[in-house]
Every structure is written in C-alpha cells, then in structure tokens.
Amino acid sequence: MTASRNAGRLAAYAWTSPNTLLGAAVGLFALALGGRLRLHEGVAEFSGGRLGTLVASLPPQLRFSAITFGHVVIGVSEAMMAAVRCHERVHVRQYERWGPLFLPAYLLSSAWQLARGRSPYRDNYFERAAFAAEGDGRVRRTPSVNLARARRPTAAP
C-alpha cells in the first residue's frame, strides 16, 4: 500500500470513528451474550451467541440479520454474517463517506420514505444502494435497484 493510500484509509477510520465506537459498545454486549469477534478485511464482525435469540424477541420492525456501525458489523450468527457480508460492506463504505453524518442521514431517509407511504427500510436510499450490490457481489457507486428483490431482514432461525 502506498503512503497516500494508507493516509486515506487512516482518514476513513478517523472520520468513521464515532460510529465505530458505538458499534464496539454494541459488540461488547454481543460478546457478553456469548458472541464471537472476527476481524475481516479491516472490519470487526461480532456474531453468534444468544444475540439471535435476543433479536428474535424484538418487535418485527426492529429485527435485523446484521447491522453496521462504522467499521463494526453485528450479525445474529456467523452463517448470517457470511450471507449478508456484501450488503453490510456497502454500509461500511457509506459510513466512510458520510462519517458522523451517516446515522442522521439514514434516519432522515427512512423518515422521508415513511412520510411518502413507502418502506422506511427497503426504500431507504442507503439500503437501496446496499441491495443493488447484492446481485453481483460488487459495491456500486450509484444505486440501481430492483425493489422486487429487496427483502426485509429477519433474525436467523
């Protein structure tokens, strides 16, 4: 890696660090539930343990298969983490682009879709970009999504 690329990666981690710290706190909770930590391509992945059971007990609209906070991804199981890794990596790149503004922007996008009578999850700008990347395993810069393919995440069995 060149010095300029290293500097760029360091800047991305710094810009994303407030969200990553939030993710690390959630990750520690996942570890307390018996989960595991794995570092994968510069991203901390917490998964497994009783996290899936806890997520399954949430109201349906709050359940997730995996959720990303900066350079941390929390997944209900290792198998689910592998299944959604491409989708979640798009969110990591979005956090790198938006930094501490990502969470407010994500929530505003969801609120806007809800106000328009659409799904606050499937129609969210950031989710559409992540779903668009799932088709071929590549991260695209612009979302071109087939919403018929979009699915709502659920907890693993």
Task: Give me the pLDDT at residue 37, please.
Answer: 98
* DSSP-assigned letters across all residues of 78-102: HHHHHHHHHHHHHHHHHHHHHGGGH
On whether the pTM is more than 0.85, the answer is no
Three-class SS of 23-71? HHHHHHHHHHCCCEEEEECCEEEEECCCHHHHHHCCCHHHCCCEEEECC
Give 125-155 pLDDT, tens digit per residue. Answer: 999 999 998 775 554 443 333 333 434 444 4
Task: Give me the pLDDT at residue 136, please.
Answer: 56
What is the CA angle 126-129-133, rounded to 5?
A: 140
How far is residue 81's CA from residue 148's CA, in Å, rounded to a whole number?
A: 23
Residues of the chain with pLDDT under 50: 139-157
Task: Give me the pLDDT at residue 61, please.
Answer: 86
For residue 85, CA distances in Å to 2, 14, 141, 155 come to 27, 22, 17, 15
